[in-house]
């Protein structure tokens, strides 16, 4: 390795050319590296959804979800299944074990679903199997509006704008919602239909029968063979009116005889608005191989072209993920630059020489550039996690360079020339810097084998830091000695900072001498400190991942069952007025879905507001608590990626049972009890609210006697109520429409209207519905949930972010004392299970990392005792970490646990620096007491430099100054608090422990020596006695 140093010193031009090449490759890598907000993360979840129009939740559960659950539950790798049955549709959420091959799992699920789908009712749709993507949200959301009432915005988007958007090479999927959907309405005259013995179905069949195109073979035409085709097409409304229809009596009439043909607008079952105005919302998703930034750039160019070509419409960018990504990464990049300059400033203060500071400082940007090259080569992206790893790396990069240049300065003080001092100084410390680098690197090796969400999130962090450590090591042993020789820095011994440092070093020496004399007191204080740390740690709350503040408030609205869309719209209008009056909100979008009885508002904040999103959420939740008596309204902070799984103002509880009625009763009682807890704003239950439904019980025997099968009659009822699509995508006047046959609006509005339905059988006889069926009202749950076959109730308790922890404690006591009915029990949430698994995985990684650090030190020092001694610095560091977590009101999360793992590598290195020098001093002949004092005073500066540079680099993240780095704040807080504590306690307690252990070793050695001396003395005595005996014997013989 010394040959590398010598080669670099002898060939400085080669080193400079290599640096220029590094810069060039780094620029290329920066231009190609992917920009993302978070690392790619996937969870082993899959969903199967099935539509069943007109079906109640009970029917969906019995006929769709229950058979599906039985079909998929035995698939290899399946962990949990959860079925959700709603009105008109249902779905199954499947959770697999981590490590399951999801491609194989998809094939298994698809095979199982295809095998069972043939047993579904005829009206049920085809099952749709999908893997859950954590990045499934749209990368861009556009709002298309027009101030001109004659403009068909939806048709314009579907026919003109969507094809233009699809020209973007980065685009994967376009989703269009909202707007007024036009269709060709065939409105039947009930009197005429009954007169001719027709029905919705027979009229729809007649229309579809005369709109077709089909091959008819081929025929010769001269020397050519031409294909034949037959077709009937209607391209104008008046042509459709002439469609022939056969009556039950064999007569042929025209469509215009029984119906009116015109353009219509579909009844609204959903709404979409932008800033209170009806709009068409366009969601855009990027391709897997592309980035949000690339998609945004391409779409913005297309929007510019659209605005020129279509001046009568307006396209607004509601949400652009690339803005968040660029803003976040720019903020972290700013933190990196600031950290570099702060580190160089600290170095300048300590060395008192600008050249020396620049030499050490130059290793940082060069190491950063080399790291980016390696990241691009390994396929890593620039995201909040990896860039925060670079921020952390700034402090760690200086470690090796500081150790090298400090030794070079020492050799200069001994009278060596710059080149000789550079070579000798680097050669002396090369072993220690390589050893300390290996110690730091092994900390991150367990991340490579971690599974689950934490493994996916932090693998990139581990690789990035390893790259920074390796590149900084190479920089320290090559660039630092070369630049030391070229620039010839001179350390200023009499600078102000050095004077302060000398004073501090003397004071530290005095304090250390006292601590070394107070060994028992120090030992007792250490035990007390560790006990207090454990007690403080017990006060910490936990969460999976801290949510990020992306400047968006989501307002979710859950309506009472069976409401019509007009009543829902009134509530949404009032809610829009509430949101629009907020001084913090710039724009907002509104959606409403009647079938799911849900609505939502996404409110986007101004960029320069000083209030956090969570503060707005807390304020709104209190004001919206009793906003409506027909809906539950809850505000929350919007997040993307993994952080979207965390909420800071609500908690969920689960009940489960095989008995639905017992579960409903238990859920209702627990809900009422929870509402009485102080601080609770609202409690929502997934099964507490029951809706009413009209049940039509068909008598199969009577229906058959009247000329209908039960299934046919059910289909006729459905089509009377909902209409029947006769033709899809018929082209009239260059526009595509559906042709739908229906009765006049509200013809069957009331239950009494349904009871008066009549149907004409094949004999032409009109039969009333009530002769074949009974119509009745009954109550039914609005949603049915099952987990692994058991019925499941979800209770969501909402409070404010400032009171939620106290509320959780009170609810915990309430849950402990709650006596549930027989057969009902509390269940665990998927989030709690995931948190336990992730914490366990990180805990195992921490344990492995600690062992690897210990193993490296044991090999380095060839001493188990010294290695254990240095490891003691880790619990000392945790004292500061736990204290700062409590002060900052932060929680234990995946991020903070990762901070403990990373902290181990840093604080151990400080211990190695201290103990290694103390051992060298002992070997040079110093007494242990003096060796420790000299080592502490001598290593004070590099330890302070390392601590300060790392602390300054991590503080913006720890104190929330870096944009969208909240989910990394826990890690930064643990490291900042841990470094402060470890620096103070290690400098004072660690030498004391070393002295205690050394004294014990000395006593053991003295004891062993005395035993050895006694054995020798005893052996000598026996030898003398034998010799005396022999002498006496010889004398007698003589």
pLDDT value at position 597?
80
- Name the nearest CA neighbour of 143 among 285, 320, 293, 269: 320
- Element holding 407 (H helix, E strand): helix 384-413
Average pLDDT, the chain: 84
DSSP string, 354-399: HHHHHHHHHHHHHHHHHHHHHHHHTT--B-HHHHHHHHHHHHHHHH
pTM for this entry? 0.75
Which residues share a beta bridge with 145? 314
Per-residue 3-state assignment (H helix, E strand, C coil) for 41-96:
CEEEEEEEEEECCCCCHHHHHHHHHHHHHHHHCCCCCEEEEEEEEECCEEEEEEEE
For residues 64 and 854, give the distance between their C-alpha atoms in angstroms, rounded to a whole number. 57
Least confident of 110-119, 607-616, 729-738, 845-854: 729-738
**At 646, is the pLDDT very low, low, confident or very high (cuts 50, 70, 90)?**
low
Tokens read off for 440: 């730091």
Alpha helices, H only, 551-612: 565-580
For residues 653 and 719, give the distance between their C-alpha atoms in angstroms, rounded to a whole number. 41
Q: Which of 16-20, 805-809, 1019-1023 has the highest mean pLDDT?
A: 16-20
CB 92 within 8 A of CB 62: no
pLDDT value at position 642?
46
* β-bridge pairing 89-96 and 42-51: antiparallel
For residues 300 and 323, give the distance between their C-alpha atoms in angstroms, rounded to a whole number. 12
Residue 242 has pLDDT above 80, yes or no: yes
pLDDT value at position 641?
47
Task: Indicate the Cα dihedral angle 28, 33, 35, 37, nearest 10°.
Answer: -140
Residue 134 has pLDDT above 70, yes or no: no
Render pLDDT for 23-48 as a digit per residue (tens, 0 to 9).
999 999 988 888 887 787 778 889 99
What distance separates the 2 farthest-apart alpha carbons in the chain? 160
Residue with tokens 């029917």: 59
Render pLDDT for 346-393 as a digit per residue (tens, 0 to 9).
778 777 778 888 888 788 889 889 999 999 998 888 888 888 888 877
pLDDT (mean) for 117-144: 83
What percentage of the chain has pLDDT greater than the value 90?
A: 16
pLDDT value at position 577?
93
- Element holding 199 (H helix, E strand): none
First to last CA, the chain: 74
Residue 124 has pLDDT above 90, yes or no: no
For residues 143 and 589, give the distance between their C-alpha atoms in angstroms, rounded to a whole number. 9
pLDDT (mean) for 121-146: 83
Collapsing DSSP to helix, strand or coil, 732 comes out as: strand
For residues 306 and 298, give the distance between their C-alpha atoms in angstroms, rounded to a whole number. 13
Burial 363-374 (b: 16+ CB within 10 A, else e): bbbbbbbbbbbb
CB 71 within 8 A of CB 106: no
For residues 353 and 425, give the distance between their C-alpha atoms in angstroms, rounded to a whole number. 18
CB 799 within 8 A of CB 681: yes
Residue 225's φ and ψ, nearest 5 degrees, are -110, 115
**At 573, is the pLDDT very low, low, confident or very high (cuts 50, 70, 90)?**
very high
What percentage of the chain has pLDDT greater than the value 70?
A: 96
pLDDT value at position 581?
92
Alpha helices, H only, 685-824: 700-705, 710-722, 751-755, 804-817
For residues 68 and 91, give the distance between their C-alpha atoms in angstroms, rounded to a whole number. 9
CB 910 within 8 A of CB 982: yes
Collapsing DSSP to helix, strand or coil, 859 comes out as: helix
Render pLDDT for 1023-1033 as a digit per residue (tens, 0 to 9).
777 777 776 66
Residue 211 has pLDDT above 80, yes or no: no
CB 683 within 8 A of CB 796: yes
Which residues share a beta bridge with 143? 281, 316
- Name the nearest CA neighbour of 928 among 1001, 1003, 995, 864: 995
Q: At what angle do helices 384-413 and 452-487 cross, to 10 degrees?
A: 30
pLDDT value at position 28?
92
CB 903 within 8 A of CB 974: yes
Q: Length of the chain, please?
A: 1038
Q: In what order do the strands lie in the sheet with 314-320?
A: 171-178, 280-286, 140-145, 314-320
- Name the nearest CA neighbour of 776 among 800, 755, 793, 794: 755
Contacts of 469 (CB under 8 A, 6+ apart): 393, 396, 397, 437, 440, 441
Q: Mind listing the domains of the chain with CATH numbers? A: 182-221+237-265+693-781 (3.30.2090.10), 351-371+383-544+835-999 (1.20.1640.10), 551-638 (3.30.70.1430), 646-689+782-827 (3.30.70.1440)
Burial 237-257 (b: 16+ CB within 10 A, else e): eeebbebebebbeeeebebee
- How many beta carbons lie within 10 A of that of residue 318, not counting itself? 20
Render pLDDT for 669-724 as a digit per residue (tens, 0 to 9).
999 999 889 988 888 888 755 556 788 888 989 999 999 988 888 888 888 888 88
Pick the residue with more confidence: 874 or 642?
874
CB 726 within 8 A of CB 243: no
Collapsing DSSP to helix, strand or coil, 983 comes out as: helix
Which residues share a beta bridge with 588? 603
- Name the nearest CA neighbour of 647 among 556, 516, 776: 556
Which residues share a beta bridge with 81? 94
Render pLDDT for 57-69 as a digit per residue (tens, 0 to 9).
888 999 999 999 9
Tokens read off for 547: 């949510």
Residue 864 has pLDDT above 90, yes or no: no
pLDDT (mean) for 337-348: 79
Q: In what order do the strands lie in the sheet with 724-732?
A: 259-265, 182-188, 735-742, 724-732
Collapsing DSSP to helix, strand or coil, 128 comes out as: strand
Render pLDDT for 255-289 as a digit per residue (tens, 0 to 9).
999 999 998 887 777 788 899 888 899 999 988 77
pLDDT value at position 644?
46
**Beta-carbon-side half-sphere exposure of residue 963 (alpha carbons within 13 Å):** 18
Tokens read off for 106: 């998809």
Tokens read off for 822: 């027989």
- Dihedral sign, Cα of residue 154, residue 159, residue 163, residue 164: negative
**What own/partner pairs with CB < 8 Å and gap ≥ 24 does 110-114 have?**
112/71, 112/72, 112/75, 113/48, 113/68, 113/71, 113/72
For residues 58 and 220, give the distance between their C-alpha atoms in angstroms, rounded to a whole number. 61
Least confident of 135-149, 151-165, 186-200, 538-552: 538-552
Tokens read off for 254: 């025209």
For residues 880 and 894, give the distance between their C-alpha atoms in angstroms, rounded to a whole number. 18
* C-alpha distances in Å from residue 682, one per residue of 546, 678, 799: 23, 11, 7
Q: At what angle do helices 452-487 and 894-923 cross, to 10 degrees?
A: 40
For residues 862 and 55, give the distance between their C-alpha atoms in angstroms, rounded to a whole number. 74
Residue 436 has pLDDT above 70, yes or no: yes
Tokens read off for 840: 């366990």
Contacts of 949 (CB under 8 A, 6+ apart): 339, 342, 343, 346, 347, 394, 395, 398
- Dihedral sign, Cα of residue 835, residue 836, residue 837, residue 839: positive
Residue 427 has pLDDT above 80, yes or no: yes
Residue 1036 has pLDDT above 80, yes or no: no
Render pLDDT for 958-1002 as a digit per residue (tens, 0 to 9).
887 766 667 778 888 998 899 888 888 778 888 888 888 888 877
Burial 398-414 (b: 16+ CB within 10 A, else e): bbbbbbbbbbbbbbbee
DSSP 8-state symbol, 755: H
CB 784 within 8 A of CB 791: yes
């Amino acid at each position: 390795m010394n040959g590398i140093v010598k080669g670099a010193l002898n060939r400085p031009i080669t080193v400079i050319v290599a640096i220029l090449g590094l810069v060039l490759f780094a620029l290329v890598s920066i231009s190609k590296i992917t920009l993302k907000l978070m690392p790619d993360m996937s969870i082993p979840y899959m969903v199967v959804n099935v539509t069943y129009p007109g079906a109640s939740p009970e029917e969906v559960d019995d006929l769709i979800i229950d058979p599906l659950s039985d079909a998929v539950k035995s698939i290899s790798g399946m962990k949990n299944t959860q079925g959700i049955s709603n009105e008109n549709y249902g779905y199954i959420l499947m959770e697999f074990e981590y490590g399951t091959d999801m491609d194989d799992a998809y094939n298994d699920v698809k095979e199982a679903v295809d095998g069972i789908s043939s047993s579904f009712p005829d009206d049920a749709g085809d099952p749709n199997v999908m893997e859950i993507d954590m990045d499934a949200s749209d990368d861009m959301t556009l709002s298309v509006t027009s101030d001109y009432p004659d403009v068909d915005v939806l048709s314009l988007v579907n026919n003109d704008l969507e094809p233009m958007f699809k020209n973007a090479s980065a685009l994967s999927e376009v989703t269009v919602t909202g707007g007024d959907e036009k269709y060709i309405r065939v409105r039947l005259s009930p009197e005429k239909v009954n007169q001719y013995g027709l029905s919705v179905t027979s009229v729809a069949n007649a229309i579809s029968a005369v709109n077709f195109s089909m091959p008819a073979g081929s025929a010769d035409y001269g020397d050519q063979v031409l294909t034949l085709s037959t077709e009937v097409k209607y391209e104008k409304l008046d042509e459709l009116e002439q469609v022939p229809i056969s009556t039950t009596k064999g007569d042929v009439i025209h469509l215009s005889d029984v119906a009116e043909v015109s353009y219509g607008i579909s009844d609204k079952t959903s709404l979409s608005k932008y800033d209170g105005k009806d709009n068409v919302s366009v969601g855009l998703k990027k391709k897997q191989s592309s980035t949000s930034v690339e998609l945004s750039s391409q779409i913005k160019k297309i929007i510019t072209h659209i605005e020129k070509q279509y001046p009568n419409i307006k396209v607004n960018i509601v949400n652009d993920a690339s803005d968040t990504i660029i803003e976040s990464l720019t903020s972290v990049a700013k933190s990196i630059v600031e950290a570099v300059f702060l580190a160089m400033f600290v170095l300048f203060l300590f060395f008192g020489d600008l050249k020396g500071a620049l030499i050490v400082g130059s290793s940082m940007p060069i190491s950063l550039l080399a790291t980016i090259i390696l990241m691009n080569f390994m396929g890593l992206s620039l995201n909040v996690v990896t860039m925060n790893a670079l921020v952390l790396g700034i402090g760690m990069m200086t470690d090796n360079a500081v150790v090298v240049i400090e030794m070079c300065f020492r050799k200069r003080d001994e009278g060596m020339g710059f080149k000789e001092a550079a070579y000798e100084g680097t050669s002396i410390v090369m072993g220690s810097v390589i050893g300390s680098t290996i110690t730091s690197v092994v900390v991150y090796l367990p991340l490579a084998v971690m599974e689950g969400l934490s493994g996916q999130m932090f693998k990139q962090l581990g690789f990035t830091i390893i790259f920074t450590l390796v590149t900084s090591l190479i920089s320290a042993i090559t660039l630092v000695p070369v630049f030391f020789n070229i620039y010839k820095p001179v350390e200023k011994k009499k600078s102000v900072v050095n004077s302060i440092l000398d004073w501090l070093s003397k004071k530290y020496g005095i304090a250390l001498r006292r601590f070394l004399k107070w060994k028992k007191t120090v030992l007792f204080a250490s035990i007390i400190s560790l006990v207090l740390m454990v007690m403080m740690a017990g006060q910490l709350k936990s969460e999976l991942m801290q949510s990020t503040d992306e400047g968006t408030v989501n307002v979710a609205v859950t309506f009472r069952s069976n409401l019509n869309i007009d009543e829902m719209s009134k509530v949404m209008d009032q809610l829009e007025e509430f949101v629009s009056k907020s001084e913090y909100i710039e724009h907002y979008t509104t959606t409403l879905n009647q079938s799911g009885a849900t609505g939502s508002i996404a409110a986007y904040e101004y960029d320069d507001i000083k209030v956090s999103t969570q503060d707005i959420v807390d304020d709104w939740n209190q004001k919206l608590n009793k906003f409506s008596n027909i809906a539950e309204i809850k505000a929350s902070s919007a997040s993307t990626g993994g952080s979207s799984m965390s909420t800071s103002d609500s908690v969920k509880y689960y009940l489960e049972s095989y008995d639905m009625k017992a579960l409903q009763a238990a859920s209702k009682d627990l809900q009422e009890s929870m509402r009485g807890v102080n601080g609770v704003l609202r409690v929502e239950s997934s099964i507490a609210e029951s809706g009413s439904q009209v049940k039509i019980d068909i008598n199969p025997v009577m229906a058959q006697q009247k000329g209908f099968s039960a299934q046919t009659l059910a289909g006729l009822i459905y089509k009377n109520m909902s209409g029947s699509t006769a033709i899809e995508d018929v082209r009239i006047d260059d526009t595509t429409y559906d042709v739908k046959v229906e009765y006049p609006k509200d013809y069957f509005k009331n239950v009494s209207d349904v009871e008066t339905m009549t149907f004409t059988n094949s004999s032409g006889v009109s039969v009333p519905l009530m002769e074949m069926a009974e119509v009745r009202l009954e109550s039914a749950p609005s949603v049915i949930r099952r987990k692994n076959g058991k019925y499941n109730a979800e209770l969501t308790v909402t409070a404010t972010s400032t009171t939620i922890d106290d509320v959780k404690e009170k609810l915990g006591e309430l849950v402990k004392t709650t006596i549930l009915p027989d057969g009902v029990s509390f269940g665990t949430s998927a989030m709690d299970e995931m948190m336990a698994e992730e914490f366990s995985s990180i805990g195992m990684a921490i344990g492995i990392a600690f062992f690897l650090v210990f193993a490296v030190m044991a090999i380095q020092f060839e001493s188990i005792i010294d290695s254990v001694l240095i490891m003691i610095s880790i619990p000392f560091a945790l004292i500061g970490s736990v204290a700062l977590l409590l002060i900052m009101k932060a929680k234990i999360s995946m991020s903070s646990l990762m901070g403990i793992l990373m902290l181990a590598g840093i604080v151990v290195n400080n211990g190695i620096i201290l103990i290694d020098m103390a051992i060298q001093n002992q070997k040079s002949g110093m007494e242990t007491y003096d060796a420790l004092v000299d080592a502490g005073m001598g290593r004070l500066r590099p330890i302070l430099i390392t601590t300060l540079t790392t602390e300054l680099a991590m503080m913006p993240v720890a104190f929330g100054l870096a944009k969208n780095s909240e989910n990394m704040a826990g890690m930064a807080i643990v490291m900042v608090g841990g470094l402060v504590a470890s620096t103070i306690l290690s400098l004072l307690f660690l030498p004391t422990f070393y002295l205690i252990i050394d004294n014990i070793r000395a006593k053991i050695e003295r004891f062993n020596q005395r035993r050895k001396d006694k054995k020798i003395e005893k052996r000598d005595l026996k030898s003398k006695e034998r010799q005396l005996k022999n002498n006496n014997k010889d004398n007698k013989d003589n």
